[in-house]
């Protein structure tokens, strides 16, 4: 791993390590994959306004999310079926998160059980959920997460139906039986045509889900509830009205609606709408410590890392995941030093210039 100098290089290693079906499943986006590219490229259109002659001999990247301390504002996003990437699956990812003193959001569609992840190491963890047509299945998962010591529920709200992921359709992507659901529902789908993951989603996900269902979720758990999948100020305001404890600005890694905006481009609109009442996190396209800094400058409290974590896991297991997080942390530390920001609180809106501002200044 000595030759790996940035997070992007793990993608090529993962491509070599994984069967094509699984690599395509992790790496692919919806339809023309416009949003997939733009999630990453939108960061390149934001420039820094670095400040100099500031004492940056000590850099403190630590912060808190829902009151829980983390070493840096870089968390692990919920991504499905880690055992397709590595035999140890989510337990390896969880150990890496714990070693880096950060929070992992465990996917509802994890290969390992909630209990296996919880017992693998001592750490703060959140559970991401989908609401199934069979509410008893979702309710049982939430109860198990509570019992296993998970600290928050992250409800994904942008999947009334699964986005059209054409690589999975071509590959006839197999959906394995997930151990969390054994004895409850079958998740194993081997498609004669099309994607097994899509077939599973069509049979289980509840397309009738509305804002009222946050009340239902609140009625079955005392844990804080965050909603993931917000892309507009209108929905951000509705989320605040619904009494959620946090928002994740996300387009589902560009896997749902192609031509939805890159998340970094709508972050500020959502931050303004929320007005500091609840934390706003950013998911999508983060590949560098500079990206993390830009998200923080535009008002995010932390970012979530999805694909790079899976690529690190596929390439080098637990060590690979740890290396991905550590690389991003050390790049963020350097960016803070070179921008004149000794602490996270020192990062302000004045430290970045967006494309719109640059265009406006030319007029």
Whether this model's pTM surpasses 0.85? yes
**Residue 2 burial (CB count, 10 A):** 4
Class of domain 7-361: alpha beta
- pLDDT over 70 at 227, yes or no: yes
Give the pLDDT confidence score for residue 1 in this predicted structure: 62
Of 133, 135, 119, 137, whose CA–CA distance to 182 is shortest? 137
- State yes or no: 283 annotated in a binding site: yes
- State yes or no: 228 annotated in a binding site: yes
- State yes or no: 16 annotated in a binding site: no
Active site residue 360: no
Give 284-298 pLDDT, tens digit per residue.
999 999 999 999 999
Q: Copy the structure tokens of residue 81.
A: 């079926």
Contact call for residues 153 and 127 (beta carbons, < 8 A): yes
- Please report, for the chain, the start and end positions of each structural domain, with discontinuous segments joined by +: 7-361
- State yes or no: 49 annotated in a binding site: no
How does 204-243 read in b/e, with b if 16+ C-beta sit within 10 Å?
Answer: bbbeebeeebbeebeeebebbbbbbbbbebebbebbeebe
* Beta pairing, strands 280-283 & 352-353: unpaired
- State yes or no: 279 annotated in a binding site: no
Q: What is the mean pLDDT of residues 269-278?
A: 98
Contacts of 152 (CB under 8 A, 6+ apart): 66, 126, 127, 223, 224, 225, 226, 245, 246
Residue tagged active-site, from 34, 82, 86, 252: 252
| Higher-pLDDT residue of 204, 272 | 272
Distance CA 3, CA 5 (A): 6
- State yes or no: 195 annotated in a binding site: no
| Higher-pLDDT residue of 196, 268 | 268
- pLDDT over 70 at 363, yes or no: no
Give 25-77 pLDDT, tens digit per residue.
999 999 999 999 999 999 999 999 999 999 999 999 999 999 999 999 999 99
Cα–Cα separations (whole angstroms), residue 213 to 73, 138, 249: 29, 12, 19
Phi-psi region of 299 (alpha: psi -120 to 50; beta: other; left: phi over 0): left
- State yes or no: 360 annotated in a binding site: no
Give 232-244 pLDDT, tens digit per residue.
999 999 999 999 9
Rounded to the nearest 5 degrees, what angle is found at the Cα of 197, between the Cα atoms of 194 and 199?
60
Give 62-119 pLDDT, tens digit per residue.
999 999 999 999 999 999 999 999 999 999 999 999 999 999 999 999 999 999 999 9
């Amino acid at each position: 791993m000595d030759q790996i100098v940035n997070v992007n290089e793990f993608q090529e290693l993962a491509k070599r390590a994984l069967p094509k079906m699984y690599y395509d499943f992790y790496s692919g986006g919806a339809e023309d994959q416009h949003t997939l590219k733009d999630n990453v490229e939108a960061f390149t259109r934001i420039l820094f306004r670095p400040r100099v002659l500031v004492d940056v001999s000590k850099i403190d990247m630590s912060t808190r999310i829902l009151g829980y301390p983390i070493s840096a504002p870089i968390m692990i996003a919920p991504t499905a079926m880690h055992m397709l990437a590595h035999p140890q699956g989510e337990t390896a990812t969880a150990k890496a998160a714990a070693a880096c003193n950060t929070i992992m959001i465990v996917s509802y569609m994890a290969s390992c059980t909630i209990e296996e992840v919880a017992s693998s190491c001592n750490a703060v963890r959140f559970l991401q959920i989908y609401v199934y047509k069979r509410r008893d299945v979702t309710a049982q998962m939430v109860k198990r997460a509570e019992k296993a010591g998970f600290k928050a529920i992250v409800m994904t709200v942008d999947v009334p139906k699964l986005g059209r992921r054409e690589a999975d359709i071509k590959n006839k992507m197999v959906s394995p039986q997930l151990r969390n659901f054994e004895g409850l529902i079958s998740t194993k789908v081997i498609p004669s045509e099309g994607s097994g993951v899509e077939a599973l989603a069509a049979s289980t996900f509840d397309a009738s889900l509305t804002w009222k269902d946050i009340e239902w979720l609140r009625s079955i758990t005392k844990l804080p509830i965050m909603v993931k999948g917000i892309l507009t100020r209108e929905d951000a305001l509705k989320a605040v009205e619904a009494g959620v404890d946090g928002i994740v600005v996300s387009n589902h890694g560009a896997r749902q609606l192609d031509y939805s905006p890159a998340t970094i481009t709508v972050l500020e609109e959502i931050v303004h709408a929320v007005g500091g009442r609840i934390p706003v996190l950013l998911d999508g396209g983060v590949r560098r410590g500079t990206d993390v800094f830009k998200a923080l400058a535009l008002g995010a409290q932390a970012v979530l890392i999805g694909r790079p974590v899976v690529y690190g896991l596929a390439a080098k297991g637990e060590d690979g995941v740890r290396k991905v997080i550590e690389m991003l942390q050390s790049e963020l530390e350097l960016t803070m030093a070179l921008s004149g920001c000794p602490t996270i609180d020192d990062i302000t809106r004045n430290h970045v210039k967006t494309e719109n501002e640059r265009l406006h200044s030319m007029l």
